[in-house]
Structure 1
Amino acid sequence: MHEDFIDQEVISEVKDVWKRFELRIGIFSKKTFYALRGVSLKVFKGETLAILGESGCGKTTLGRIFLGLEEPSRGEVYWFGKNLKTLSKREFKSLRPKVQAVFQDPTSSLNPKMRIKDILFEPLSINFRITKEEGLSQIGEALKKVGLSEKVLYCYPHELSGGQRQRVALARALILQPKLLVLDEPTSALDMTIQKQILDLLKELRLSFQISYIFITHSINTARYLATRIAVMYLGKIVEIFPAQALGKVPHHPYTELLLSVNLDPFNPVKPNLSALKGEPSLSFEEVEGCPFYPRCQYKKTNCQTLSPELVEVSPGHFISCFERI
């Protein structure tokens, strides 16, 4: 069971967000690739919202849009009730420390030429313009939060283990005291034992400081272990949203059901068997008229090919986009 202290204060929100990219096909032609197609999603105070889906579903692009690192082609993004489109540069900069990220590979996100003390001080100097002496106590506190000794301060990233590097990346994000943390596959590059340690640490930090998480993952097992709420993505669309404790206990979208058919132990070293999923998700080069899961769905009907089902609330907090399930 997951902790249930979450209130209904909205920390961040996307409304009808679309994202398209122009991809070159051959020498002379281009095609439009739709990474996101009409995504609307809220993040509440103190929750862990897992965004779950296969590679190419658009979850990382959605995370970058929540972070303000990518602008949507259409739609709106809100931080703390404020539309990012209407913010001045000064207003955006004042909110920036409150929304931070931890990425998949700490090796690529930590400057190899900087000592850990300088890596942790950098965000403080950029956002708050404080001296190194003033930042020392905050650096020590950030290390304490993630379970690292101050002995690592004079190390370079390559001198630390993978788990230690990811803790440093987490400390760097936490040092700004964010309200929202976007975590993009933060444990997938780590071994199973270290994965569990990091996930348990994230749980503890969320409860202690009431941080909201957007946890991007391809693993339904990890989402089940960490999340309070899960949003399932397929080909740029949200096909289901539900409380994490309801996973496997309620009728799900056919795609979620297929993901559920794999082993539900989040720390089992055996790779999930996705053989039940027929075919591969194709790149979305056009605005699909019908359900995006239609070609791979065992329950598909004729109308699924031409009509796009909306997300409908079938029980409190449980939304499904499927004609078969509503």
Structure 2
Amino acid sequence: MIYEGNSLSVNLLQDGIAELVFDASGSVNKFDQQTVADLDAATQALKDNTDVKGVVVRSEKSAFIVGADITEFTGLFDMPDEEVLTWVAKTSQVFDRFEDLPFPTIAAVNGFALGGGCEMTLACDFRVADTTASLGLPEVKLGIMPGFGGTVRLPRLIGSDNALEWMTTGRDRKAAKALAEGALDAVVAPEKLVDAAISMLKDAIAGEFDWHARRTEKTSPLKLNKNEAMMSFSTAKAMVAAQAGKHYPAPHMMVDTVAKAAGLDREGALKLENQGFATLAKTDEARAQVGIFLADQLVKSKGKKQAKAATKAVKQTAVLGAGIMGGGIAYQSAVK
């Protein structure tokens, strides 16, 4: 055992392959503050271990990592502006330190890899997923933007046009589509996922895959000339203006951030991302959208518990009123 934390552990397998396994105590893996601290400690332990030649990152659960712990956001976002900026900067630097490990890394993705989970895969040099996987950056649905390096790494991996479409819509990608767009290096059957990841990692260690070049690409400025940049970002701004309108600042901030960071290296680009995230976190829109998300999760949770606790089968219902609400209730009752 190289490292054991509350949410993840690191073991040394054969041939210098280390396995970083996310396995939180709850039903899913999330990036709460404790998990971020565990990741930082695990990264340092890996860096200090001279026997490690490469790292496979995987999940012990049916989903990789579903994102950040949204329940922590209300308290974090209430902090003073400077403290919010400090928090997101320090958190994103944890992902930087993992990306900078002196050997190749690969993410073995199963189920959902969303938000911070997707950003964890982007911090790896390579990504292989099974056919159940879905990847995405849905932060826009909470009125914010990726804060752990997503706006920096994804455009450099799949191009600014594709990356902005991912981020400004918040829609996730199934494994086959993510592969076609360049966010994945391979897709395999679920039972072959770990073996495929280890095989690819061994090839990288042997020099058959140039992981140094992949890493350099992610930490360098975007490969866009002046005309290409103008076309790309003008199109993205027009799309966001048409689809999101002027009352949702998050997608507009994403486009502006990626555009301003296009000519910068990772350090400079991440400073812009940190600032954009901190600015959005203090908006009324983010507060409202996070509140709606948490309320929706609470209702779903209570509904599931009440359904399990029900002791009588419903054989007949009556609905008074046949308007939009009454009709919807009648329809749902009939379907369920």
What TM-score results when the alignment is normalised by the length of structure 1? 0.27
- Higher alpha-carbon Rg: 2
Q: Which is richer in helix?
A: 2
